[in-house]
């Protein structure tokens, strides 16, 4: 009876009574242990990611050494593998998309935070955030059936007519090519850059703007000379996060880049990325060395994105303080 009363009292107040302290102490210890245990488990999972990829890549690492990075051979029959065409394709497609998306995205973020009427800003921002969640397979599907024909029939010829003297815009125009991949990636990372830029700008204290306006600067001058410089590290961080996403994007790129392991200056030629070759050939890898070479590509991708994302996060974190 007394036990029951104590239990009820404890249940309702959440306060430990002396009688039950022993049980509570056990529970408290269990609680701490499970929190710590989860953290350790999480770190093991993270460490396992790197360790498993290094382990799986061992055979390829030993066979090809560092030469793997700049060899452009990719021949499963003779078992000669090199990463160069894939690294090139990943770098070119994601750098172009980063350049386009950061220019447009930062401008869009500025508009949403500074100039848009409140209701328009909120609804546009909500829309863009919602679209950030659209899966990449959807963008890939649209890119393959709508954007690729558009590039080969309209955008490609138009670029060739105007800028055809540049080596990037010469040669046969394929529908699935480096340019299409870069454009799809641009669309996919735009919401990230726009949303983070907007948040950073909105978080800036009003008094900086007021000071600048009081000194006679126009609203745009205030943005360009006061607001943007003070959040530039954060925006750089946002761009790095978006760049990391473009580097690792797999499905959408695989569907529109053409999947041919060649290095070509022309953006109208098909290419291949690190992520795409893994996606396409992983289940077809018949020999251990082939599989190991693909895993090494995954390892390279992992390390590059850890560096890029880490840098981006560091920048955003420094700004938070």
Partner 1 sequence: MPARRRLTGGIWVGASAVCATGVAAVLLLIMAYIAERGIGALSLSYLIHVPRPIGIPGGGVANGIVGSFIIVGIAALMAFPIGIFVGLYLGVYGYGPRAEGLAFVADVLAGVPSIAIGIYAYTVLVEPFRQFSAVSASFAFAVLMLPLVIRATEGAIKVVPRELREAATALGAPDHRVVGKILLAAARPGIVTGLLLALARVTGETAPLLFTAFGSQFWELDPTRPMAELSLQIFNYAISPYSEWHEQAWGGALLLIFAVFFLSLLARLSFLMQKGRGPGRAE
Q: How far is the CB of 33 from partner 1 (least distance, A)?
A: 11
Q: How far is the CB of 252 from partner 1 (least distance, A)?
A: 9
- Stretch of residues binding partner 1 (CB under 8 A), selected from 33-41, 58-66, 78-86, 92-100: 33-41
Q: Identify the H or E element spanning 78.
A: none
Backbone angle region of 272, left / alpha / beta, with phi > 0 → left and psi within -120 to 50 → alpha: beta
List CB contacts of 87: < 8 A, sequence separation 6 or more: 69, 274, 300
Q: Collapsing DSSP states into helix, strand and coil, what is residue 270?
A: coil
Q: Rule CB under 8 A: is residue 48 a binding residue for partner 1?
A: yes
x/- site string to partner 1, residues 9 to 28, per CB under 8 A? ----xxxx-------xx-xx
Q: Rule CB under 8 A: is residue 35 a binding residue for partner 1?
A: yes
Nearer to partner 1, 168 or 242 (CB): 242
Q: Rule CB under 8 A: is residue 270 a binding residue for partner 1?
A: no
Nearest-5° angle of CA 38, CA 43, CA 49?
A: 130
Q: How far is the CB of 201 from partner 1 (least distance, A)?
A: 11
Question: Cα–Cα distance between 4 and 172 in angstroms, integer?
Answer: 84
x/- site string to partner 1, residues 83 to 112, per CB under 8 A? ---------------------xx-xxxxxx
x/- site string to partner 1, residues 194 to 213, per CB under 8 A? x-------------------
Q: How far is the CB of 207 from partner 1 (least distance, A)?
A: 21
Q: Rule CB under 8 A: is residue 34 a binding residue for partner 1?
A: yes
Q: Applying CB under 8 A, which of residues 278, 290, 293, 315 lies at the interface with partner 1?
A: 278
- Stretch of residues binding partner 1 (CB under 8 A), selected from 58-66, 140-148, 153-161, 261-269: 140-148
- Stretch of residues binding partner 1 (CB under 8 A), selected from 72-80, 130-138, 162-170, 261-269: 130-138
x/- site string to partner 1, residues 153 to 172, per CB under 8 A? --------------------
Nearer to partner 1, 92 or 301 (CB): 301
Nearer to partner 1, 126 or 164 (CB): 126
88-124 burial: b if 16+ Cβ within 10 Å, else e: bbbebbbebbbebbbeebbebbbbbbbebeeeebeeb
Query: CA torsion sign, 3 to 9 to 12 to 15?
Result: negative
What tokens were used for 198? 């907007």
Where do the DSSP E strands lie in the chain? 74-75, 80-81
Binders of partner 1 among residues 216 to 255 (CB under 8 A) are 218-221, 224, 241, 244-245, 247-251, 255
Nearest-5° angle of CA 175, CA 252, CA 161?
A: 30
Question: Cα–Cα distance between 199 and 257 in angstroms, integer?
Answer: 33
Q: Rule CB under 8 A: is residue 70 a binding residue for partner 1?
A: no
Q: Rule CB under 8 A: is residue 149 a binding residue for partner 1?
A: no
Strands 74-75 and 80-81: antiparallel
> Is the distance from CB of 190 to CB of 132 less than 8 angstroms?
no
> Is the distance from CB of 239 to CB of 102 less than 8 angstroms?
yes
Give the interface size with partner 1 as a residue count (CB under 8 A). 94
Nearer to partner 1, 127 or 166 (CB): 127
What tokens were used for 283? 């289940």
- Stretch of residues binding partner 1 (CB under 8 A), selected from 69-77, 161-169, 225-233, 295-303: 295-303
């Amino acid at each position: 009876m007394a036990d029951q009363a104590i239990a009820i009292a404890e249940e309702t107040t959440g306060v430990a009574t002396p009688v039950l302290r022993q049980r509570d102490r056990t529970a408290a210890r269990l609680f701490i242990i499970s929190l710590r245990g989860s953290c350790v488990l999480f770190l093991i999972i993270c460490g396992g990611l790197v360790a498993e990829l290094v382990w799986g890549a061992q055979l390829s690492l030993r066979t090809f050494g560092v030469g793997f990075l700049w060899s452009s051979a990719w021949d499963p029959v003779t078992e000669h593998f090199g990463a160069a065409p894939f690294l090139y394709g990943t770098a070119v497609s994601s750098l172009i998309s980063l350049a386009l998306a950061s220019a447009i995205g930062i401008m869009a973020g500025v508009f949403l935070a500074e100039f848009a009427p409140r209701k328009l800003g909120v609804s546009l921002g909500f829309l863009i955030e919602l679209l950030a969640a659209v899966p990449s397979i959807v963008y890939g599907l649209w890119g393959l059936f709508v954007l690729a024909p558009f590039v080969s029939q309209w955008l490609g010829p138009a670029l060739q007519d105007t800028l055809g003297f540049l080596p990037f815009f010469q040669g046969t125009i394929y529908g699935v090519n480096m340019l299409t991949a870069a454009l799809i990636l641009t669309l996919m990372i735009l919401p990230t850059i726009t949303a983070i830029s907007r948040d950073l700008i909105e978080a800036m204290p009003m008094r900086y703007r007021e000071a600048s306006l009081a000194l006679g600067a126009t609203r745009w001058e205030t943005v360009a000379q006061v607001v943007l410089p003070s959040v530039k590290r954060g925006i750089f961080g946002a761009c790095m996060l978006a760049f990391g996403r473009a580097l690792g994007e797999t499905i959408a790129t695989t569907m529109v880049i053409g999947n041919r392991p060649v290095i070509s200056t022309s953006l109208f030629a098909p290419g291949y990325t690190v992520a795409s070759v893994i996606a396409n050939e992983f289940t077809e890898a018949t020999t251990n060395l082939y599989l190991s070479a693909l895993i090494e590509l995954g390892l390279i991708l992992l390390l590059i994105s850890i560096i890029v994302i880490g840098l981006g996060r560091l920048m955003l974190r420094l700004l938070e303080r």
